[in-house]
Amino acid sequence: MNHIHSGKRVILHFLAVFPFCAGLAIFNPSTSRAADAYFHIPLAKLNLTEGSLPAGDSVGNPRSWPLMQLIQPYATLDGAGEIYVSASRPIWQRGNNAPGQAISVCAPEGREITGRLFLPKPDFSGLVQVRFRISSTNASPAARSEFLGEKQQFYQQLQDRNLPGAAWFRHQVAVTAAQRGTKPGAANNFNRRFNRFDPFTVEGTFDLFSGSRALSENLQLDRALPPISTNATNLENITNLAGITVSPMDWKPLLAKTQPALDPLAAFVPADQHAIFFPSFTALTTMIDEAEANGTPLLQSFEARSEDAGSRERYQKQLCLGLNDLARLLGPQVVASAAFTGSDPYLRAGTDLAVLFETPNPHLILATVAAQQAAAQAADARVKPVSGKMAGVPFVGALAPDRSVSSYLASVSNVVFVANSRKQLEYLVRTALGQSAALSSQDEYVYFRQQYPRGADNETAFLVLSDATIRRWCGPLWRIADSRRTRAAAVLSELQAAHLDELVRHQAVSAALHSDYFVPDLGELKLTPAGVASSTYGTLDFLTPVSELSLAAVTPEEAQAYGRWRDNYQSNWRQYFDPIAVRFSVSPSKLAADLIVMPLIAGTQYHQFVDFTMGAQIAPDAGDPHSTALARLALAINPQSQAVQEAGNLVGNMAPGLKANFLSWLGQSITLYADDDGFWSDLNAATNTELFLEHAYARLPVALYCEVKSSMGVVAFLTALHAFVDQSAPKMTRWQNLEYNGRPYVKITPDKLSDPSGDGPDADWSVYYAVTPDSLTITLSEPLLKRALNRQAARIGGQATNLITKPWLGRNLGFQIEQKLISILLKATHDGYQTQLQTLSWNNLPILNEWKRLYPEQDPVKLHQQIWGEQLICPGGGKYVWNESWQTMESTALGHPGNPKAGDFASPLASLVDANLGLTFENQGLRANVVLNRSVGK
C-alpha cells in the first residue's frame, strides 16, 4: 500500500535501475477443453517456419542497459492455450539460443501448435519475430511440471517488480503454486529496488535541496510493522504500550516577544492533526490546479509507477464538495480562508479528511453544500441522508454503504466544516468549542508562524505537522492499526482477484467470503457487485480511516513488533522530536517552497554537510559573483570542524610534507561554478554528448573558487603540494608560472616525458590556478581563469559592473542554475529521460496484456480502473492501444519493448527560467528553500 499521497507528498522516490530478469508471456484466451497437452521445447530444437533466432551473446549498447529488464522474450499461440519463455539466466548473460532457453506450452491435446516467438535483438534495441510449429507428438506429461514452474516464475517476477497489478500477479503465483503442490516463494524485495532513482541525478539533487530527504527520514511512513503470523488469544491492552518517549522541544526560548499573526482556522484544528492553510479560496484552487497541471506529471516522472489513484475526484465526490462548482456558485469573496486537516496522511488508502471554510456568511456555504448532498442522494438510491447533533451542534449529511459518498456538514461560529467522517467532524466541533486543544495553542505552530509571517512572500499554502501529530502517527494505536489495515487490504485484493471474472462481467452476487490469512478483527468479508468489502476495514476504494478503527487490545506479537519499531525509530533523536512546516508560494511565473524540519534525526543523510558546515556560512557575495555564471554550487566550510580536521589528518598521514590541518587557510565557503562559454554551445550541438565530453572535457568551463583567509597559508599549502607531487611522481607534471594583465597564475600539464608521443589520453589537459589575497581559483579552462582575474582586478579597483544580485537561499549550502544551462543539460540527458519515461510507461503493459487476453472485448485501461480504482497513465502523453502485429498493448507515444518509439518529450523542468535552492542547518534542524522561476504560459 502506498501511504504517501500526492496532496501532502513532498517526498519523492528515486529510481536506480537494476537489470531484472523476467520471461514475458502473452496468452490467448483459453477455451474449455477436455484435456490439455504440455510441451517443453528448447529453442535450439524449435521448428521455425519463418525467420531465424537472433545470433550473438552481446550485452548490447550501454544506453540500452536500463531497459534490459523490459526487453524480454515472449511468445503467443495462434489458438487456445498458454505459452511461456523460460528465463533461467539473466538475458544479458545469454544468447537467444543458450542452454536452458526454452518455451513451455499448455494447449488442447491432439492438435498441432503454431505461434510466434519474440526475441531480443543482440543490441537490445527491440525484438524480432519468428514463427514456429510444434507437432502434437512432442507432447509429454512430464512437461506439465516444467510448464507450471515457468508460469509461477513468470508471475513471481512480475510481482517482485512492484508493477501495477501486483495483487493479480500475487494471486496467480498462489494459484499456480497450489497446482504444483508447493508454496509461493517469498517476495524478492531487492528486485523492487530497481524502481528508485540514482541519488546522484538531477532528481537526486532536488531531493537533497528541497528537504524531501529529511521528510522521508523523519516521518518513515512507509515502514510498516511485520505481518502477524499467529491468531493469539492472550491479548494485551494497548494502553500498556508506551509510545514515543523522546522529550518535546522547548520552543519558548525561540519565541519572539511579539505574537505573530496566526491563521484564524488554526483555532479550529485539533493540535494533533496535520493542517494545510490557504489564505483565500483563490489560493486553495490555485494550489489544487497547480498540482493537477504540473505537480502530478512531475511526480509521475520521478516515481516508479505511472498511475493515478484519482484521489482528488474521489474525495470531492465523497465530500459532495466540488471545489470548482463551489467557486462558481459562491465566488472567492464568500470564503475568507480555508484549510484541509485530518488525523493521518493516508489519502490514497483512506483517511478522515475535512475541509474548513472561514466565511462571513456560513449559511450560504451550508446551503450550497447541503444542495450538493441532496443531488448525490438523487443520483444514487443507496445514498441516504443523515443528521443529528454533536456536542449540541447540529449536522446534516449524506452516506452511501460503501462510503463512496460520505459527507458530514456543520458550522461553529463563522467556520463551516465538511468532513467525510462523523468521528472527524465531532473532533473538529469539540475543538471549536474549546473542549480539545487546538493547533493555535501549540508553541511550535506559533514559532513556525513567526518564521513564516502570514501573508508574506505571496503565500499560497502553509502546511504544519505538529509535535503531537507526529507522535500520534508514531504511537502504538496508529502504527498497529495501520499495519492491520494494510494486511486487510492484501486480503481484500486477493479475494477481489479470485472473484475477478464475476466482477468484470457484472455477475457478482452478494455473498459471504472467507480468508485463511489472519488479520485481527477482520470482520465479515462479503462479495458485493462493487467489489470485496470488510465490515471492519471497508473496501479497496476506501479503507476505513485509522481513527475509526476500534483497537483496544493487541496480540503479543504486535506489541513486540511495535516495541522494536519504536525503539529503533526514536533512537534517531538525540534529545527532541521533529515538528515540520512548509510554506508554498504559487504564481504563473514562480513556484516556491520553504521547509523547516526540527530537529534532524541522528542518522540523517545530511550529517556530512552538517559536520562540514556548522560554524560557517555562505556570505551574500560569496563565490566570485558574476552575471555570466550559468550555475553555482556553494558550500560553507568550517576548517576547524571535526570532519574537515579528520580529512586533513588523513591527507597529512599520506603526505607528511603537508600540514596536518591542510585546510586551515580556507575561508568560510567554497563555490563550484560553470561559466557561459562556447563549450556549452558545442555540447548542445553535439550529436553524441558522451563522445563529445570524452574528447572535450579539457575545455570544461567550470571552476572551483575557494575563499582564503590566510594568503600565506594557501601559498605554503600549494608549495608543499607541488613538492609532494614531484616527489611522488617525478617528471610526470610540469608547473609553469604565467601572467595575465600583470596577475600571476600557474599552469600544470603532463610532462612530455610521461607521454613521449604527445598524443596519449592525458596529453591535452591542463589545470590552471590563481591565488589572490582572498581567493584560490582552480579550473581546466584558461579563458575562464583569465575572466576571473579580470573580475578580481575590477573588484579591487572598485569598477566591478557584472556582479549578480541573486541571493543565496541557504547559509550552509546553495545551488543556482540558469535557463541556458538547464536547456543544455536537459538535451544532453534526453536519452536518459526518455528511458525513464519508457520504463514507467512499459511497466503498465504486463497487467494491461493480462486484461486483454482475459477480456479481449473490453478496454484494458478502463477495466483496470473499474476493478482496482487506478487509471494507468502513459507519462509520455500517449494512449494505451492493442498492437495486433506484436500481440501486445503499447503506448501510442512510446511504443512497446519490442518496437520502441522515439519522441521529443519535454521534461517538466523545461519551462524553468532559473532555479535557486538553499539549505540552512539551525537549531539542530534544517531549513530548505526552493524558488523555481518559469516561463509564463508553459
The predicted-structure confidence for 485-504, as pLDDT tens digits, reads as follows 888 888 899 999 999 999 99
Task: Give the C-alpha distances (Å, rounded to integers) separating 747 from 432, 702, 751.
Answer: 72, 16, 12
Q: Is the pLDDT of residue 450 over 60?
A: yes
Question: How do residues 823-850 score in pLDDT, each as one tens digit?
Answer: 888 888 777 788 888 888 999 999 999 9
Decide if 912 contacts 822 (C-beta within 8 A): yes
Q: Is the pLDDT of residue 5 over 50?
A: no
- Of the ranges 88-97, 672-681, 744-753, the best mean pLDDT one: 672-681
* Lowest-confidence pick of 46-55, 317-326, 652-661, 845-854: 652-661
- Please report which residue ranges of 333-421 form alpha helices under DSSP H: 362-379
Q: Is the pLDDT of residue 380 over 90?
A: yes
Looking up cell 459527507 gives 407
Q: Is the pLDDT of residue 453 over 70?
A: yes
Side-chain-facing half-sphere of 573: CA atoms under 13 Å? 21
Closest CA to 29 of 124, 135, 107, 85: 107
* pLDDT for the residue 576: 58
Decide if 105 contacts 38 (C-beta within 8 A): yes
Separation between Cα atoms, residue 882 and residue 123, nearest integer Å: 26
Whole-model pTM?
Answer: 0.83
* pLDDT for the residue 652: 59
Decide if 595 contacts 211 (C-beta within 8 A): yes
- Of the ranges 4-8, 326-330, 518-522, 857-861, the best mean pLDDT one: 857-861
Decide if 918 contacts 813 (C-beta within 8 A): yes
Q: Is the pLDDT of residue 510 over 70?
A: yes
Separation between Cα atoms, residue 622 and residue 632, nearest integer Å: 10
Q: Is the pLDDT of residue 575 over 80?
A: no
pLDDT mean over 206-235? 56
* pLDDT for the residue 385: 97
Closest CA to 35 of 169, 139, 165, 178: 139
pLDDT mean over 629-658? 73
Q: Which residue has the higher pLDDT, 490 or 1?
A: 490
pLDDT mean over 360-372? 93
Separation between Cα atoms, residue 39 and residue 137, nearest integer Å: 10
Q: Is the pLDDT of residue 658 over 70?
A: no
What percentage of the chain exceeds 90 in pLDDT?
45
What percentage of the chain exceeds 70 in pLDDT?
80
* Lowest-confidence pick of 124-128, 463-467, 503-507, 713-717: 713-717
Q: Which residue has the higher pLDDT, 651 or 474?
A: 474
Decide if 909 contacts 826 (C-beta within 8 A): yes
Q: Is the pLDDT of residue 207 over 70?
A: no
Q: Is the pLDDT of residue 770 over 60?
A: yes
Q: What's the sign of the alpha-carbon dihedral 66, 69, 73, 79?
A: negative
Backbone phi, psi, residue 176, to 5°: -70, -40
Q: How confident is the model at residue 152 (pLDDT cuts 50, 70, 90)?
A: very high
Whole-number average pLDDT of the chain? 82
Decide if 19 contacts 65 (C-beta within 8 A): yes
Q: Which residue has the higher pLDDT, 216 or 825?
A: 825
The residues near 392 (Cβ < 8 Å, ≥ 6 apart) are: none
pLDDT mean over 712-733? 81
Q: How confident is the model at residue 722 (pLDDT cuts 50, 70, 90)?
A: confident
- Three-state secondary structure call for residue 705: strand
Q: How confident is the model at residue 291 (pLDDT cuts 50, 70, 90)?
A: confident
Q: How confident is the model at residue 389 (pLDDT cuts 50, 70, 90)?
A: very high
* Lowest-confidence pick of 163-172, 335-344, 712-721, 909-918: 712-721
Separation between Cα atoms, residue 514 and residue 511, nearest integer Å: 10
Question: How do residues 900-921 score in pLDDT, each as one tens digit?
Answer: 987 777 777 888 899 999 988 8
pLDDT mean over 188-197? 40
Question: How do residues 843-891 score in pLDDT, each as one tens digit?
Answer: 999 999 999 999 999 999 999 998 988 889 898 889 999 999 999 999 9
Q: What are the grid coordinates assigned to 251, written together?
A: 520552543
Closest CA to 360 of 252, 281, 423, 424: 281
Decide if 657 contacts 723 (C-beta within 8 A): yes
The residues near 611 (Cβ < 8 Å, ≥ 6 apart) are: 641, 642, 643
Separation between Cα atoms, residue 824 and residue 827, nearest integer Å: 5
* pLDDT for the residue 751: 75
Separation between Cα atoms, residue 582 and residue 538, nearest integer Å: 32
* pLDDT for the residue 17: 23
